[in-house]
Chains A and B, each alone.
Chain A
Amino acid sequence: MNGLDIAVAQSVGITPLEVSLFAFILITAVLTALFRDVLASIVIFAAYSLGLAVLYTFYRAPDVGLTEAAIGAGITTILLLLTIAKTTRPATDELFEPINWPAVGVCALFALVVGSTLVVFPGVGDPNSPVMTNPDVTVHYIEQSYAETGAENAVTSVLAAYRGFDTFGEAVVVFAAGVSSLIVLGREVFTA
């Protein structure tokens, strides 16, 4: 996760706004792991999700940004809060978790491996990058999706028409999550 953030950060012409966004995301990500209090961890994790949502919007992926804000920052936080409300929070005076140096080493190694691919990345929004010029994928959908599906938002046409089978799987997975939660918690109804 951290490695990816660094990867994106170094591949773009950096503006001060992006620098502060990346710093915010990195700091909240590290703090999520370090805070000893679970409640503090959850709150800072919500802030991390919100930072990611702003970043996605900034890079012109508003659909992904909205999902991250609604699911990542909103619903996940509420479900996590509910979960710790049902358990006990260990009382402690320490603010931070003791740092596990072997784990830090593994994470650093992973970041290094992922980061080593940075040199071949095209810049964000580079009009000559392979993903922008591919006539069979990107160009086809941008030019044809309105004529073929009548939807102005090409993302929706891909989700609901071109790759509808994937979306069907995603929707049924949500349904399956509800059913399996009922089974795990030993209940027959969601509400009274």
Chain B
Amino acid sequence: MSDDRADTTLDAGVSRQRPAYTESQVIMSTVKAVVPFVMTYGMFMMFHGGGSPGGAFQGGALIASVFLMIAFAFGIDSTREWLSNAIVVGLGGFGVLIFGGLSLGTIALGGNFLEYTVYEPVFGSILGLDEVGFVKYGMEAVEIGGIAFIVAGILMGLFFLLAAGFNPEGVHDGNVVADDAVATDGAGEPAVEEVRSDD
């Protein structure tokens, strides 16, 4: 947030098409109040997909939308710096690994793709589950560890990626030059024009 303030004061003399980020007490307070509930609902949907409507896909999207709301309220740039790339990539990558590992593991044990019951003779005594238990918790693992991780991570990533826009190294298009003239942090990235719902 402090970076955005600094940008605004630096740019005060330069006329820009839109301000990069407008700090709104209303939006920030609303997001602060809403975010815990959305996060909880997303978690509930993710963990409770086997027993009620919803599931990992919807839960993952809700969890990603928490970070999107934070970005809208506190500035996409500062949120992008706060949110580590390792989290986004880790969620997506580990999601595919967990889903792929679980499903290919059944083939390695001589079963069909995602035939959870073949885990029972191997891990049944360790985990204390019967065959239906393996199907039940295998599905939960695929839903939570696989789908929800992938969806939450990649949707977050797509949002911040689109916000950053196309920027091959060393190539700047015309409207970036004015921003570079006043940029002092030397990050080499053009200032991002953010979405404003009211214009």
Contact = CB atoms under 8 A, between A and B. Distances in A.
Interface of A: 62-63, 66-67, 70-71, 74-75, 78-79, 81-83, 85-86, 147-153, 155-157, 159-161, 164-165, 167-168, 170-172, 174-175, 177-178, 181-182, 184-187, 189-192
Contacts of A170: 147
Given A165-B103, A165-B114, 4 more contacts: A63-B54, A153-B50, A164-B103, A182-B161
B150 interface: yes
26 contacts: A66-B54, A67-B57, A75-B68, A78-B65, A86-B193, A149-B136, A152-B52, A153-B51, A157-B50, A168-B100, A171-B99, A171-B147, A172-B99, A172-B100, A174-B155, A175-B93, A177-B158, A181-B162, A185-B161, A185-B164, A186-B166, A186-B168, A189-B89, A190-B158, A191-B85, A191-B88
A152 B51 contact: yes
A160 B54 CA distance: 13
Nearest to B197: A81
Contacts of A75: 61, 64-65, 68, 155, 159
Contacts, number: 177
B167 A148 contact: no
Contacts of A191: 80-81, 83-85, 88, 157, 160
Label chain A's interface by main secondary structure: helix
Nearest to B83: A191
Most chain B CB atoms below 10 A, which of A82, A150, A152, A165? A82
B32 to A, nearest CB: 19
Interface residues of B, number: 66
Nearest to B199: A39
A186 B189 CA distance: 13
Interface in B156-194: 156-169, 193-194
Contact of B150 (A79, A147, A171): A171
Contact of A85 (B54, B143, B193): B193
A56 B45 CA distance: 18
Contact of A151 (B51, B80, B195): B51
Contacts of A165: 103, 113-114
A152 B193 contact: no
A1 to B, nearest CB: 22
B182 to A, nearest CB: 20
A190 B88 contact: yes
A150 B132 contact: yes
B116 interface: yes
B139 A187 contact: no
Interface in B74-106: 80-81, 83-85, 88-89, 92-93, 95-96, 99-100, 103
